[in-house]
Amino acid sequence: MKNQLQEHSIGIPVSCQYDKPSPPNGSGAIIPMRIGLKFSETVKGKLSLGARILQLGGVKRVFRQNFGVREGEKLLKVSPCYLSTTAGPIAGLLFISTQRVAFYSERSIKFSSPNGELVRIHYKVSIPLRKIKRANQSENVKKPSQKYMEIVTVDNFDFWFMGFLNYQKAFSYLQQAISQVHNPV
């Protein structure tokens, strides 16, 4: 069962689109989006994520522990960013490897289990590179410095990432990884 799950996108896409991409706000126009509730909460989250990375022995081990590593898979780039969801942006790490793009939230999220209990889990997304149709760049029309990255899968789900420390570098690594899978040498 675990191998079957690794073959598919895992996570909840922002939207399923059939004609044209929709920005993180879903309105058709990209407008400013508040990423964090409060600056103090953002700092607290970053510190807890940093502590977790140190406890586990680095970002490579965080990736390996939470997503497993397939034979021949190499981690290319790790970028702190936010994943846009219908409930709002979620802070975490975007992992770009030679076989997939994965996201791991910096904080756990509460939800109700089928038996009614409140459960806390980290939000995870794993998209095999061969399931990615395209990656698009976008920016906030009012603040061009705010860049967004959209990943559209072959089954027309899209995932939006934002708030990168080095957007251009992350997007470049993503394009490189996708092209190596779709156009092997």
Kindly report the CATH number assigned to the domain that includes residue 71. Answer: 2.30.29.30
Neighbours of 177 (CB within 10 A): 22
User: For residue 106, is pLDDT > 70?
Assistant: yes
User: 14 or 123: whose pLDDT is higher?
Assistant: 123
Domain assignment of residue 166, yes or no:
yes
Number of domains in the chain: 1
**What are the pLDDT digits (tens) for 5-48?**
444 445 544 444 433 344 554 444 443 444 445 555 555 555 55
Can you give the pLDDT at residue 44? 55
Can you give the pLDDT at residue 58? 66
pTM score above 0.85: no
Domain assignment of residue 22, yes or no:
no
The average pLDDT across 55-84 equals 85
Domain assignment of residue 50, yes or no:
yes
Can you give the pLDDT at residue 42? 53
User: For residue 2, is pLDDT > 90?
Assistant: no
Domain assignment of residue 141, yes or no:
yes
Q: How far apart are CA 171 and CA 173, in angstroms?
A: 5
Geometric angle at alpha carbon 121, from 105 and 37, rounded to 5° = 50
Can you give the pLDDT at residue 136? 96
Domain that holds residue 56: 2-11+35-182
Domain assignment of residue 20, yes or no:
no
What size, in residues, is the chain? 185
**What are the pLDDT digits (tens) for 135-172?**
999 988 998 888 999 999 999 999 999 999 899 999 99
Domain assignment of residue 143, yes or no:
yes
User: 146 or 101: whose pLDDT is higher?
Assistant: 101
In the block, residue with structure tokens 């607290």:
44
